């Protein structure tokens, strides 16, 4: 095969085949058992020894080039037929495909985020029973019976002589923890709590609470403010600001409420924050010395702060849910949005 | 508590505007729930005198009145039950606009023309009272425009802390505002209480009554109180009744001390404070007949109870227009005693809510003197004799609290000198002296809540402002770290379940007896609420099935197939004496009309692999599950839950076509979790063989798997089973995929065949299984 013949063969293969059948005919013509190249290769053996090497190399070279040309032509023709498949076997590239993906409960997502934040700040997550005694739920926290402070947390009671109750707050977990651990302490206790209250758009009789407690030497109200500032920044964004307002809880002194700048309007004032630019998010305070004394921590040496907040409320604000009862209604049309 | 701004300002040396009042209160920790800005009454609304009242000829509930508005008589049709000749009333003639925007038009009511309207307190925008028209002070001149004698006042609606009895009064609130704003407090100046022969009083209620004062006053026929007082009371949410009752309420608002007036003519002295006797009853001022018990403390005369002490007076000794003499009472009752009585009768009054916070014994004489002064001034009353005053125990006039300045400022995280602390505390009449770092604070009787350094810290920071507190982070120097290996695993499980397409739900923990019994539960194993919201929520759930079934039923139109899961504590009670047991459960319900069981078995298999635990499914009957598709889930020998299909008889009424269910004790499951363990991978590809076996139906996959595992000839996986009717009775076929390999070479076909024969032979011997030809 002369160089000119080879060139013509390559051109023929590259452009002369209109379909796979024509290409196959060409392939057989050159590479088939009786093909031109095959015969040429076979003929090499009959040549004088001195010519064999050069002729063999040339024939092999030609075979390689023709094979490559056939492969390239095959890909070209395949490309044409793949493009045609757009008509013969069409796929709507924009059509949706069902995703068998479930959904985490929005409050549980928020709890997870909170726990991650507190872990990064060195807090231990502590769990405790939901059925409590009056001692742990009330008396250990300075909420004596026959005092109107009890009315702040309307309580369910259980039948039976033990005077047990579904806890109204997760603070009993803190008392139990302080009974078995010595300062320095840094914990949060997320969990469900129960209140015998009428339900409305901002109250349900069962809800989650996340309470935190820090006890160490020299812990101050400024530490409380700084800690909650960081927590709120972690949760709501790094430009969040906080403010404290005076409040009253029997188990803290001083007691405060903490507001954070509204995440909807960035503190400009909107419907969510009733125009104030602030969201009321937490109750907190410096642990009352009597609470420390009861768990045998010396209030002259140690001080601490405690705080508590409701993830439902934060989730409601964050996701724009107008009614917290939605979280407790297992409505899949609601839950699939999270 | 509603506070008219002008009334509060009267207690200050220099008035503040309403916004400043609200800010000062907020800074002092008094929550201002709402500010109602005043709206001046239309100048057309005037004082009128009812001259004539006749029944409307064609409407039973209406009356035709003639009202003199000063030189002009208006014919007004009126529907109020209390309208009577001689009353001074507020008249809105045609053209007048009410505060709610309604304009009075000339209308014909059942054929009778009305030239205006007689107004209730609600229509005047004063209070919510719409029980009748508002009766005005009889001394007012006819035709006086009401907006001139009732200057409009803004109203602050405030909530105060439960430990602050002093803040349930204008006096107390004004002390806070004064301290925040640099004003002085201008409290009312009442005279001395008279001495002389006093009404007979006996105290026999132990420690539940601490101090009791009573005085007798004679008065001319009792009329309405002065217009300005009525306006203030109405604005404070207190219904004006008559001069005597209004003055007691007025003084309660000023001082926070409840007072009570009895019609002296209807009392048989002595007055005794005692426990009620079994069988005694009392009709209280709200018209309710109350059955009394020994727990109740009453004020009684010789004939029986005349008032629920500290809560509400009796109707039998009520002040009426015929009253000509009263006994006025001011007392200190113990908070717990009043609270018990109020709770027992479900009766929370302005009086009881004040007593419940604990009022000091210094207050009754001050309030009584003020009430006597006002009664003399406004109701023409004269004191008869002197004041009875029995004081069984008294609060200290001042208490000393010692604290170190370092302690106070350290708690706040602020740098303040002792003298600065003294300056701030003095603003609240907390007379403070300093010696070096030591503070000595003389706390007056009206602040029993201040007992320690932390209290002083709070008062100081309220005065200087919380915005002055810096933001710092506490140093952290833990002695040891407790790691949490649990939460991560729970989240991992949740994520996996979500990956299967399931929804996490949160449901209420309380269920009904009906739900429990339907699902075959014994009620006595459940915690029961003493005070449930309804019988639907009377028990604490011991498993999550009732909740998830209910959730599935609520969502039956959502999709033909969906999965729900919940992780929650559940509660059981074991026997009468032992306490409740709590455990954390995971439950998954998969709604599916065909492959319900597979939906939850998939969850079980997933958990096994994810946590690397071995769970056994041991068929066992469960009252709420399908009779033939229910099994215990075991972890080793411990039963940790159930798996199966929900009994179709439970599903039918819920209109559900099929549901698989699994519930596991999550704590036990997670405790058994293991980390992955490396096994060398085999570089020689295995020889694969699929074989189909004929097996008795009772032989489960797990038994085959175990039998082959012991043999260790091949890796055996389940590849399907078949229950065709053409098979011999009680048999099924089961297809296994075998992967046969050696660690040093690829097996030859002959070697592989030999192993298969060995394996089938073993299954035949041990389980009665044969190769299907």
Among candidates A119, A158, A221 on the partner chain, residue whose Cβ is nearest the Cβ of B469? A221
Asked if the model's pLDDT at residue B84 lies above 80, the reply is: yes
The mean pLDDT of A119-136, rounded to a whole number, is 94
Q: Give the C-alpha separation, A92 to B402, whole Å.
A: 82
Q: Write out B289-352 in H/E/C secondary structure.
A: EEECCCCCEEEEECCEEEEECCCEEEHHHCCCCCCCEEEEEEEEECHHHHHHHHHHCCCCCHHH
Q: Give the C-alpha separation, A184 to B424, whole Å.
A: 33
Nearest to B214 by CA among B298, B326, B361, B320: B326
For the stretch B520-545, pLDDT in tens is 999 989 999 999 989 999 999 999 99
Asked if the model's pLDDT at residue A101 lies above 90, the reply is: no
Chain centre distance of CA A169 = 27
Nearest to B193 by CA among B469, B443, B355, B388: B388
Which of the four pLDDT bands, split at 50, 70 and 90, describes residue A89?
confident
> Contact A184/B479, CB-based, under 8 Å?
yes
Q: Between A49-88 and A3-16, two packed helices, what is the crossing angle to 10 degrees?
A: 10
Q: Give the C-alpha separation, B266 to B305, whole Å.
A: 12
In the DSSP assignment, the letter for residue A228 is H
| pLDDT of amino acid B128 | 73
Instruction: Report yes or no: B736 and B719 within 8 Å, Cβ to Cβ.
Output: yes
Q: Write out B77-100 in H/E/C secondary structure.
A: EECCCCCCCCCEEEEEECCCECCC
DSSP state letters, A292-314: HHHTT--TTT-EEEEEEE-HHHH
Asked if the model's pLDDT at residue B166 lies above 90, the reply is: yes
Cα dist from B633 to B320, B571, B597, B637, whole Å = 76, 20, 14, 10
Asked if the model's pLDDT at residue B9 lies above 80, the reply is: yes
Nearest to B223 by CA among B380, B118, B383, B45: B380
Which of the four pLDDT bands, split at 50, 70 and 90, describes residue A123?
very high
Q: How many CB pairs under 8 A join A and B?
A: 229
3-state secondary structure of B584: strand
Q: Which residues contact A248 (CB under 8 A, 6 or more apart)?
A: A255, B29, B161, B162, B163, B164
Helices (H), B182-291: 227-235, 243-255
For the stretch B448-463, pLDDT in tens is 999 999 999 999 999 9
> Contact B579/A218, CB-based, under 8 Å?
no
Note whether B463 contacts A: Cβ–Cβ < 8 A: no
Helices (H), A121-272: 134-137, 171-180, 221-236
Tell me how many degrees the CA angle B221-B222-B227 measures, rounded to the nearest 5: 135
Cα dist from A211 to A104, A148, A191, B519, whole Å = 22, 23, 9, 36
> Contact B461/A205, CB-based, under 8 Å?
no
Q: Which residues contact A12 (CB under 8 A, 6 or more apart)?
A: A26
Q: Which residues contact B103 (CB under 8 A, 6 or more apart)?
A: B95, B96, B97
Which of the four pLDDT bands, split at 50, 70 and 90, describes residue A130?
very high
B-chain residue closest to A121, CA distance = B476
Note whether B561 contacts A: Cβ–Cβ < 8 A: no
For the stretch A147-199, pLDDT in tens is 777 777 789 999 887 789 999 999 999 999 999 999 999 999 999 999 998 88
Q: Is B238 left (phi over 0), alpha (psi -120 to 50) or beta?
A: beta
| pLDDT of amino acid B577 | 63
List chain A residues with CB under 8 Å of B585: none
Does residue B6 have a cis bond before it (omega within 30 degrees)? no
Which of the four pLDDT bands, split at 50, 70 and 90, describes residue A6?
confident
Note whether B462 contacts A: Cβ–Cβ < 8 A: yes
Among candidates B412, B477, B494 on the partner chain, residue whose Cβ is nearest the Cβ of A220? B412
Among candidates A100, A124, A227 on the partner chain, residue whose Cβ is nearest the Cβ of B473? A227
| pLDDT of amino acid B118 | 93
Which of the four pLDDT bands, split at 50, 70 and 90, describes residue A272?
confident
List chain A residues with CB under 8 Å of B29: 245-248
For B773, counting Cβ atoms within 10 Å of its Cβ (0-12 exposed, 13-18 middle, 19+ buried), the class is exposed
For B539, counting Cβ atoms within 10 Å of its Cβ (0-12 exposed, 13-18 middle, 19+ buried), the class is buried
| pLDDT of amino acid B637 | 94
Instruction: Report yes or no: A147 and A183 within 8 Å, Cβ to Cβ.
Output: no
For B633-639, which contacts have Cβ atoms below 8 Å and span 24 or more sequence positions? B633/B604, B633/B662, B633/B664, B635/B668, B635/B669, B635/B672, B636/B672, B638/B668
List chain B residues with CB under 8 Å of A196: 531, 533
3-state secondary structure of A95: coil
Q: Between A20-31 and A36-44, two packed helices, what is the crossing angle to 10 degrees?
A: 20
Greater confidence, B502 or B111? B502
| pLDDT of amino acid B327 | 97
Q: Give the C-alpha separation, B505 to B498, whole Å.
A: 11
For the stretch A229-255, pLDDT in tens is 999 999 999 999 999 999 999 999 999
Cα dist from B78 to B55, B81, B90, B144, B366, whole Å = 10, 9, 12, 21, 43
Residues recorded for chain A: 338
| pLDDT of amino acid B578 | 66
Q: Which residues contact B507 (CB under 8 A, 6 or more apart)?
A: A328, A330, B544, B547, B548, B550, B551, B566, B568
Phi, psi of B54, rounded to the nearest 5 degrees:
-130, 155
Torsion of CA B419, B424, B429, B435, to 10 degrees: -20
List chain A residues with CB under 8 Å of B471: 222, 225-226, 229, 242
> Contact A124/B509, CB-based, under 8 Å?
no
Indicate if the alpha-carbon torsion angle B331, B337, B339, B341 is positive or negative: negative
Neighbours of A198 (CB within 10 A): 10
Q: Give the C-alpha separation, B584 to B614, whole Å.
A: 20
For the stretch B235-276, pLDDT in tens is 899 988 999 999 999 999 999 999 999 999 999 999 999 999
**Residue A115 CB-half CA count within 13 A:** 20
| Mutant choice from B342, B474, B481, B606 vs A, greatest count of A C-beta within 10 A | B474
Helices (H), B453-505: 453-464, 487-499
Note whether B339 contacts A: Cβ–Cβ < 8 A: yes
Greater confidence, B187 or B694? B694
Cα dist from B329 to A96, A267, B258, B263, B380, whole Å = 80, 52, 9, 11, 18
For a pLDDT cut of 70, what percent of chain B falls above it? 99
Asked if the model's pLDDT at residue B576 lies above 70, the reply is: no
Annotate A291-313 with b (16+ C-beta within 10 A) or e (fewer).
bbebbebebeebbbbbbbbbbbb
Nearest to B603 by CA among B622, B590, B613: B590
The mean pLDDT of A62-72, rounded to a whole number, is 91
List chain A residues with CB under 8 Å of B592: none
Note whether B743 contacts A: Cβ–Cβ < 8 A: no
The ipTM value here is 0.85
For a pLDDT cut of 90, what percent of chain A falls above it? 62
The mean pLDDT of B546-556, rounded to a whole number, is 95
Q: Give the N- to C-terminal CA distance of chain A in Å, as an integer.
A: 72
Q: Between B418-426 and B405-412, two packed helices, what is the crossing angle to 10 degrees?
A: 80
Among candidates A157, A256, A288 on the partner chain, residue whose Cβ is nearest the Cβ of B531? A157
Q: Which residues contact B46 (CB under 8 A, 6 or more apart)?
A: B69, B70, B90, B91, B93, B142, B143, B144, B145, B146
List chain B residues with CB under 8 Å of A129: 582
Q: Which residues contact B361 (CB under 8 A, 6 or more apart)?
A: B210, B211, B332, B391, B393, B394, B395
Annotate B618-647 with b (16+ C-beta within 10 A) or e (fewer).
eeeebebbbeebbbbbbbeeeebbbbbbbb
| pLDDT of amino acid A169 | 95
List chain B residues with CB under 8 Å of A216: 474-477
């Amino acid at each position: 095969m002369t160089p000119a013949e080879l060139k013509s063969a390559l051109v023929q293969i590259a452009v002369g085949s209109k379909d796979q059948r024509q290409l196959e005919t060409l392939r057989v013509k050159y590479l088939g058992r009786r093909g031109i190249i095959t015969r040429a290769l076979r003929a090499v053996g009959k040549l004088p020894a001195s010519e064999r090497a050069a002729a063999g190399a040339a024939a092999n070279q030609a075979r390689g080039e023709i094979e490559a040309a056939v492969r390239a032509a095959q890909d070209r023709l395949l490309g044409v037929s793949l493009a045609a498949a757009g008509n013969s076997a069409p796929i709507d590239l924009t059509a949706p495909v069902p995703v068998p993906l479930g959904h985490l409960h929005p409050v549980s997502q928020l709890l997870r985020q909170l726990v991650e934040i507190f872990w990064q700040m060195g807090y231990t997550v502590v769990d405790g029973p939901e059925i409590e005694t009056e001692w742990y739920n009330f008396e250990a926290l300075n909420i004596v019976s026959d005092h109107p402070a009890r009315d702040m947390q309307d309580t369910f009671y259980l039948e039976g002589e033990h005077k047990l109750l579904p806890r109204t707050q997760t603070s009993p977990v803190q008392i139990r923890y302080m009974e078995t651990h010595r300062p320095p302490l840094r914990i949060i206790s997320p969990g469900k709590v129960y209140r015998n209250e009428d339900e409305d758009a901002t109250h349900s009789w069962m809800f989650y609470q996340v309470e935190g407690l820090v006890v160490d030497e020299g812990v101050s109200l400024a530490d409380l403010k700084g800690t909650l500032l960081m927590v709120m920044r972690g949760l709501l964004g790094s430009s969040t600001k906080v403010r404290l307002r005076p409040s009253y809880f029997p188990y803290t002194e001083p007691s405060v409420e903490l507001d954070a700048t509204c995440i909807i309007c960035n503190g400009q004032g909107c419907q969510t924050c009733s125009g104030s630019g602030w969201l009321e998010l937490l109750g907190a305070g410096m642990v009352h010395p009597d609470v420390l004394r009861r768990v045998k921590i010396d209030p002259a040496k140690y001080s601490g702060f405690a705080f508590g907040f409701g993830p439902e409320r934060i989730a409601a604000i964050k996701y724009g849910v107008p009614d917290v009862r939605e979280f407790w209604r297992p409505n899949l049309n609601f839950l699939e949005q999270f | 508590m509603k506070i008219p701004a002008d009334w509060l300002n009267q207690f200050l040396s220099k008035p503040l505007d309403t916004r400043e009042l609200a800010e000062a209160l907020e800074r002092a920790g008094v929550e201002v729930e709402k500010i109602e800005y005043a709206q001046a009454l239309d100048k057309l609304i005037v004082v009128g005198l009812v001259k004539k009242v006749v029944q409307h000829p064609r409407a039973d509930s209406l009356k035709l009145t003639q009202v003199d508005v000063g030189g002009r008589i208006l014919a007004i049709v009126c529907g109020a039950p209390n309208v009577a000749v001689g009353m001074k009333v507020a008249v809105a003639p045609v053209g007048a606009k009410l505060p709610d925007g309604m304009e009075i038009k000339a209308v014909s009511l059942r054929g009778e023309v009305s030239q205006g309207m007689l107004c209730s307190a609600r229509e005047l925008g004063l209070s919510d009272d719409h029980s009748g028209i508002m009766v005005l002070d009889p001394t007012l001149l006819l035709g006086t425009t009401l907006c001139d004698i009732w200057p409009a006042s803004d109203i602050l609606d405030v909530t105060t802390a439960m430990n602050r009895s002093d803040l349930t009064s204008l006096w107390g609130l004004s002390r806070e505002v004064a301290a925040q704003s640099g004003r002085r407090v201008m409290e009312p100046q009442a005279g001395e209480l008279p001495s002389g022969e006093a009404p007979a009083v006996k105290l026999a209620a132990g420690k539940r009554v601490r101090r009791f004062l009573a005085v007798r006053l004679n008065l001319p026929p009792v009329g309405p109180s002065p217009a300005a007082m009525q306006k203030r009371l109405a604005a404070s949410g207190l219904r004006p009744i008559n001069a005597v009752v209004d003055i007691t309420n007025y003084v309660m608002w000023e001082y926070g001390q409840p007072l009570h007036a009895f019609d002296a003519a209807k009392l048989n002295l002595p007055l005794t404070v005692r426990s009620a006797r079994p069988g005694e009853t009392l009709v209280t001022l709200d018209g309710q007949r109350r059955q009394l018990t020994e727990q109740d403390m009453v004020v009684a005369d010789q004939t029986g109870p005349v008032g629920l002490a500290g809560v509400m007076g009796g109707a039998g000794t009520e002040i009426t227009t015929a009253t000509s003499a009263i006994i006025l009472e001011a007392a200190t009752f113990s908070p717990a005693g009043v609270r018990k009585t109020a709770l027992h009768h479900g009766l929370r009054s302005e009086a009881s809510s004040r007593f419940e916070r604990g009022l000091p014994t210094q207050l009754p004489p001050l309030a009584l003197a003020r009430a006597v002064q006002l009664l003399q001034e406004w109701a023409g009353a004269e004191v008869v004799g002197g004041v009875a005053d029995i004081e069984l125990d008294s609060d200290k006039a001042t208490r000393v609290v010692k604290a170190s300045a370092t302690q106070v400022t350290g708690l706040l995280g602020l740098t303040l000198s002792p003298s600065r602390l003294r300056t701030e505390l003095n603003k609240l009449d907390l007379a403070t002296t300093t010696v070096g770092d030591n503070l000595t604070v003389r706390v007056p009787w009206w602040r029993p809540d201040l007992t320690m350094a932390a209290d002083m810290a709070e008062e100081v920071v309220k005065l200087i402002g919380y915005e002055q507190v810096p933001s710092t982070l506490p140093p952290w120097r833990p002695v040891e770290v407790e790691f949490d290996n649990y939460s991560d695993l729970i989240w991992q499980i949740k994520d996996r379940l979500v990956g299967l397409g399931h929804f996490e739900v949160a449901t209420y923990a309380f269920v009904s007896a009906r739900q429990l019994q339907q699902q075959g539960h014994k009620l006595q194993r459940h915690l029961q609420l003493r005070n449930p919201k309804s019988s639907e929520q009377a028990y604490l759930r011991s498993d999550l099935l009732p909740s998830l079934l209910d959730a599935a039923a609520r969502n039956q139109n959502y999709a033909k197939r969906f999965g729900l899961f919940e992780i929650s504590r559940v509660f059981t009670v074991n026997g009468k004496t032992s306490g409740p047991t709590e455990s954390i459960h995971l439950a998954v319900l998969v709604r599916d009309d065909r492959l319900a069981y597979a939906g939850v078995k998939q969850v079980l298999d997933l958990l096994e692999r994810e946590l690397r635990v071995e769970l056994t499914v041991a068929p066992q009957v469960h009252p709420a599950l399908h009779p033939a598709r229910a099994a215990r889930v075991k972890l080793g020998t411990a039963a940790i839950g159930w798996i199966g299909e929900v009994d179709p008889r439970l599903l039918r009424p819920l209109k559900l076509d099929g549901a698989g269910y699994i519930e596991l004790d999550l704590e036990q499951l997670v405790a058994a979790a293991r980390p992955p363990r490396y096994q060398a991978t085999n570089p020689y590809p295995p020889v694969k063989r699929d074989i189909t076996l004929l097996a008795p139906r009772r032989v489960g996959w797990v038994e085959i798997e175990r039998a082959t595992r012991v043999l260790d000839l091949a890796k055996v996986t389940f590849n399907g089973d078949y229950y065709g009717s053409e098979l011999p009775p009680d048999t099924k076929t089961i297809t296994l995929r075998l992967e046969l390999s050696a660690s040093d070479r690829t097996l030859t076909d002959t070697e592989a065949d030999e192993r298969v024969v060995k394996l089938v032979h073993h299954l035949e011997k041990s389980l009665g299984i044969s190769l299907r030809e």
